[in-house]
Every structure is written in structure tokens, then in C-alpha cells.
Structure 1
Amino acid sequence: MKERFDYGQNPDKTEGGELISSYGCDHMTADAEFLLSKAKYKAVTGREQRRDADVLCYQIRQSFKPGEITPEEANHIGYETAMRWTKGKYAFFVATHTDKAHIHNHIYYNSTSLDCTRKFRDFIGSGRAVRRLSDRICLENDLSVITNPKLHSKGRFLHYGAWLGTERQPPYKEQLRLAINEALAKRPADFDDFLRLMEASGFTVKHGRGGVISFLVPGQERATRLRATTLGDGYDPEDIKAVIAGERPLPEQPVPAPAAPRRVNLIVDIQERLRSGKGAAHARWAKVYNLKQMAAALQFMQEQNITEYDQLSAKAENAVSRFHTLTEQLRRTEADLSVTSELMGAVVRYAKTRPVFDGYKATKYSRKYLAEHEAELADYRAAKATMGELLGGEKLPKMAELKEKRRQLAAQKKALYTEYRSAQEEMRQAVAVKANIDHLLGVTDGQRKKEQER
């Protein structure tokens, strides 16, 4: 037991012991406390089990999807899982490990109760029961769960790392980028030396037509070209040669984008689906789906510190109002940008065709001159008409002023569009959460449905 506890409390895995929480015991002396409780159990009850048949403690391992949770949140969820599983009657401690691709908890709980009058008895199906409890807590915290757990040949659930695939090799492009960086870090003398280093590391180098270089990663069927459009900035042959010559630094590995937050969707009206002909299987799916959406709605309200229905209504109304305000601002900015760009184009055309019109005027509007320069004169008239329409009698600004105005409007549009997308997502979330809460409370009537559809 001490050996298992030492593994769970390893400082290298728990960020120096910061990711350990306990209940009813001190995790540093848990092994001694667990054994002491068993001695008290014998003294209180007079019962004693054979040494080879007695269970000293139980362990639960709980893993999470990479990129979806922080170590502190994982430890909190592990603590909640242990508390609800043991109902607060058994001492336990939770150690959160961060040394793998997926954050995971090791939960150790005593087999003897805190009052030393009973022992925890494992039962048939306890593994499924603890999995259901863990899934429920994860859903309540807007986390992913394994919807179809896979079994190996012995009938037990697969190790989470094997199920998720985190123990498999990274994608071929990522392997290739890492190998290129490692080869360049060895300071090859020239490009040919760089290719030899790549071959020595197990990559097949292929020379195509026109000097195209491709690499075949071990296990890969189709070669990957050495070019920026395939591998990213800094991975063109010219870039590699510049790194070898010391003219530029090593290319940077692209950072994977963080996982997008889960969107709250509208829950399914199960009874309506059943009336429309859907079967029992669909109803079971809908129940799980609705549970996920309500858990996501709960998480949204917790993050926004919403505890009252009126707060939720105000949040939804404000989100809708902010979205429509930004939509109008964006529309006006785009209109102003369009007008400015059109005016600049008209000014350029006017400046180009003005000498032609002056020549036409100098010939006293000669028909021959008109026939020779009809297209230029038509452009002149159109440009002058456009300028008059857009300026509305105001003085024509200088081209430098128009360029600066267009630059400012373009920057304003870019900033507004970013804010607009954020407001749009916030509005969708708030409206969906409110609709789900309305459905849960049974306050959805015909008028609310019309408002929702609108």
C-alpha cells in the first residue's frame, strides 16, 4: 500500500505535491492511518479477516480529455467523485497526475469506515457504477465522457490512453517537422548534409521532377513534400538553406489551437419526437443529449455567476441587444468603407481622364476628337458624376486623406468583426440556455416560442 501511495504522491507527477487533496486523513501518513483504522475495526467489532483475504484500500483512476480541463479542476472533480462515491464515510485522498498527455486522477480510499464499524464491500457491477457517477459529474461540469466504452478480450474496459489514442505516434507532418528541427539543430554543413541527417534518422528522401524534395515517414504510404504550404511557414527548401547558412532561426513548431468551448444547443422535445414516429432508441439518445445540454447550461450559468431567472433573462436580452448594436455599427462601417473606396476609384479615374477632356474642350468639342476618345470621355463623365454624388457638394479631400480614412475604416471593421463574432456566439449561448431553462421550468408557451423562433 505504501508503494502505491508513494507512486500516486510522486512530486514529479503532482507538481510538487500541489495537486493532492484529502478527506479524513493526511495523505503523507495515509498508509499508517489506514492500517490503524483496521486495528480499531478489529477492537470495535471483534471481527478479523484472513490476511490474504483482507482488502487494505481501493483505487479509482479517472482520466480526462486532453486540453479540456486544468489540473486544479481535475483534482476538484476527483475529490467530488470520491466524496459522492464514499458518501463521506471513508477516508480518501486524490492525487492528480500531469505527466501524461491526458490529465488523470488516482483516488485512494480506505476500505474501513471512519467510525471503524464497517468495511466497504466491492459488489458486482461496481466498476460500471463508478463510471456512471464519474460521467454524471463530468457532464455537470461540461466535460467529455466516453459514450461507447470499448472492452478488450478479458471483458474489462480499455485503458483510457489506449482508447483515446494518446499513446499512438503523432501525425506524420508533426513527426516530419520535429525531425527537420532536430536535423537543423545539428548544424549541417549544407543542404545535402541536411538530407543525409534526415535519412540517418529513418526518413526516406525522395527527389522529384524540378528538384522537388519529399520525405517518407516510417509507416507512411504517401510522401510529404518539403514546402511551406504543406508543413507551414519556415519549411520551404529555401528557408531550410537560409537556416543552414545562419541567415534565419530554426522554424517554430505550430502551436495547436485550444479546444473550443462546448456550445449549448437547444434540448430535444422527446414527447414531440415520439409523436412524430421516433422509437424508444431515439428517446434514449434524446435523454442523454438533453442531459448534456442541461449540464452545459448549468456550467454557463455558473461561469456567468447567474443564480436567478431574472438575471438569465437580462443576460439574454443584453446579449441580443449587444449583437444587434454591433451589427448596425458593422453595417455602417462597411458602408462608409465602400463609399470611401468608390470615391478613391472615381478620383483616380477622373485624374486619368481629365487631360483627355481638356483636349476635347480645346478642340471646341470636335466630333472627330470625340470619336477618337469616346471611351475615355465616358469614363470622365462617369467619374465626375460619381464624385458629385458621393461628395454631396462638399470639397474634394486630398488623396492622402482618403487613403488614411480607408485605412482607419478597414482597421475599425476588422476590430468590429472580431467583436461581432464574439457577441454572436454569446447571444446564441445565452438564448439557448434561457430556452432550455424555460423548458425545464415549464414556462415555455406559444408567445415564448414565437420570440425564440424570431
Structure 2
Amino acid sequence: MNCDPFTFDMECKELNEQYRKNQTFDEIKSHHYILSFDPKDVSENGLTGERSQQLGLEYARKNFPGHQALVCTHTDGNNKSGNIHVHIVINSLRKHDVERQDFMERPCDSRAGYKHHLTKDYLTYLKQDVMDLCRREQLHQVDLLSPAEKKMTDREYYARRRGQKKMDELNQKMTAGGITPRKTKFETQKYFLRNAIDEAAASARSQEEFQKQLSDNYHISLKISRGRFSYLHPERGKYITGRNLGTHYKKEYLLSVFKENTKSRSDIPSDFSAFIFIKSDLRLGRDLQTCVKAQESPAYARRVKLTNLQQMAKTVAYIQEHGYESEEALADAFSQAQAQTSDMRKALRSTEKKLKEVNQQIHYTGQYLANKSVYKQYLASRNKKQFRQEHGAEIALYEAARKFLKDSAGGGKLPSIKLLKEEKAKLTELKNRQYETYQNLRGYEKELKTVKTNVEIILGKGQDRQEPERETSRS
């Protein structure tokens, strides 16, 4: 842009000499911007290197007008990650006068001979424009304006790369000598802290429990100063603030996680097993007026009368013991028992449904992880058609699992296997306790129904109640 790409460096030098700028060693002579597209844009949205180059040129013309710019695109990403990168390198000195734009803060920002002036507001505008560009093209896009959940600086990124390279070289020598390496993945101190905090926060229900888990399991010290969390790595002498690790490691976010953990535990009512139903030997009385066998056999009728007297005596004792002072009070207790049983049945079914969904997520997450490496090889392969023919089953399983998990997450972050298994354990415990409570409530409801029926027989309402039932059964 505004230069020949093959003589970009010479043309920049000539312009610098013309305006007598960028002549000393410590002056900023160029600015380098990178548009990094999601690897999934290639497979899911059909993004190509050619289209990415066009988008990069469009972005450069709009946001760096008047500058000499070199726009280059490569499709192998960083470390063969498979994502497309568009590199935009501009001369810090503007070559042409341009019409002043809204994002230009000073009058000279549109004039030739003046340098590129990057401010915080300008950088925010550039990030927003990238997001708008990706949204327009229906590409994947993260929120560049919000603070990162897991903050990784350039210094940490390159330290991790150097550490991984050294570890790979050392492990290669160990493997050649017949020794199996103990670790294959290099971890920076911040990476170790993030993983440990994630693990502890997944189950902690309070700040004290969280602090204890960090200390006991990872030898990490937690300090609260000025309302902020700071963490001390076991091999470090200086604390690292939660803000430097990312928004998910700050006090406000973690306290909300603890609250959610407490809420999820409280979803398992502590009084489920407290409703213990001890079944009595109370039996349902027989109505002689509707009992055909009793009407045909006087001996059987006498036995029924004797049994009824025993059950009626037990019914009266039951009513007195439980304090039912009227027939209406007994009816209210029975209605309440019916409602409680119905509510518990619904809760049990809801938990069973959630458990089924979690089991599906665990299944598809395992399927996703098992075939992820093959899919990465597919993205990096030159002959994708041939690779898909050779590994069609693995790719199909990966894509099916990815679609299911993506739909389940609703655009959010996919949960880890560990968190899913913890959720499964909680739901299984909840289901077992709900089932126990449901059985107790159901037994209690049946017993009250027996008492209610016996009372109706005692009061001579049995015939009125049972006659319609016989008519219904005949219909």
C-alpha cells in the first residue's frame, strides 16, 4: 500500500530522509499489527488465505491511510496451529496527506511527514474495528475489549516457548538413552498458578476453604491486600496479583464462583433423608355392603367384621397419635402429602434429565478429545481430500462431538472432563437422595389414604364413595 512491496524498505528509508525523521537508533521506525483468525474459520466458514489478504488490505487502507504498508498473509499460523495470520507492517512516518478521520486525535495525524500516533483510545478503536470486520464476515471472534480471563503477556508467551523448546531437547536425549521423561509440557509459574487456582476454585465454597486447598495441595500462599487476591508460587519470593493472571483469578470473580458452588451444593436439600417414613401395620378396612363374598358367606363376613374392628381401632389410635382433630384436618394432610410427592417426583425427573445431559457431555467430550489430534493433522495437511478419505471416521466423530458440545455450551466455554465428572457425582448424589425422599413421601401418602378411607367407612361414607368406583369400573 502506497509503495512497491519488493522495495518497501528502500522507499521507507527515502521518505525518512526526505522528512529527516527516523534517523536515530532509538526512534520507532515501523509498527507491526497482526490479524489472527480462528483455526475454525478455515474448516467451518471457508476462510482462505486469499480472502484474508483482501481483508487485511481493507483494514490497512481504512485504519492506516497515507502510510506505506506491507500486508502479508500466511496460512500455517504460529507453531503450525492452522490459523491464518495477516501481518501489517507500516512505516511510522506518513507519506501522503489524507482526509482527517474520526479516530485521529490531532490535526497533524492526517498530514504527511508526521508519525503514527498510537494512543489507548486509538488502540481500542482498532480492536473494535477488527471485531466488526469479523462479525460482518461471520467469522469467529473473541471480545478484544474486555480484560482477558487468562492474561498472558508477550514475556510469558515467549518464556513458555523457550522453556518448551529446552524441555523437548532434554526429553529427546532422555528418550534416546532409554529414560521415560517425567514431564513433557513446560509450565511457567503463572501457568502453574492458573491451573492450581482453577482446580481449587472448582470445589471451594468459601475463601477459607479455597486458601486451605491452595496451601495443602499446591503449597501456594494466598494473600488478601487492599481487597485483592495475590498468590505466591512455592518457588518464588514475590507475590503475583490476580489481575496479572486474568479476570478469573481476581477476588470478585472467585467469590462469585464460591457462591455458585455453595448454591449448587444447597440444591441437595439437607433434610431429604430427614423425612424418614416408618410404615405402620395399618390396613385398609373392607366395606361389607360392597363385598360380594361376605354377602354370600356368613363365616367370611364375621372374619371381615373382626378384622375391620381391629383396623378401625388402629385407625382411631393413629388419628389421636398424629393429632388429626377433624376429618377436614386429615383431608388437608392427605392433600399436602399428595402435593409433596408430586413435587418430589418432578424434581427427581428434572435431576435425571440433567444427569443424562451431563453423561452425554462427558461422552462427547471424550470423543472430541480422542479425535482432536487427527483433526489438527487434517487442518495442517496439504491434501485435505485424501486425508479425509483415509481418516473419515475420526474426522466425522470429531465434528459430531464438536457440534454437540458447541450447541450445549451456547457459544460459551466448553467445560473440562474433570468439571463434568464432578457435576455428575453431585447429580448422582442428589438423585439418590431425592429418590429416597420420594419413596418415603409416597409411602406416607399411601398410609394417609388408608386412614382417610377407614375413617370414611367408620362414618358410613364407604358405600357412597365406593359405589361410583364400581360404576366407573363397569363403564
Q: Is TM (by shorter chain) over 0.5?
A: no
Q: TM-score, normalised by structure 2?
A: 0.37
* Larger-Rg structure: 2
